[in-house]
Amino acid sequence: MAGGELAAEVPCMICLCDEGVWTKATRVFEGHESDRYVCEKRHEFGMDWRTPPTERQWPPPGRARA
Q: Report which DSSP code applies to 6.
A: G
Spell out the domain ranges in the chain: 5-48
pTM above 0.85, yes or no: yes
15 with 28: CB under 8 angstroms?
no
Q: How high is the pLDDT of residue 65? A: 53
9-59 pLDDT, tens per residue?
999 999 999 999 999 999 999 999 999 999 999 999 999 999 999 999 999
In angstroms, the CA 63 to CA 61 distance is: 6
Confidence of residue 66 (pLDDT cuts 50, 70, 90): very low
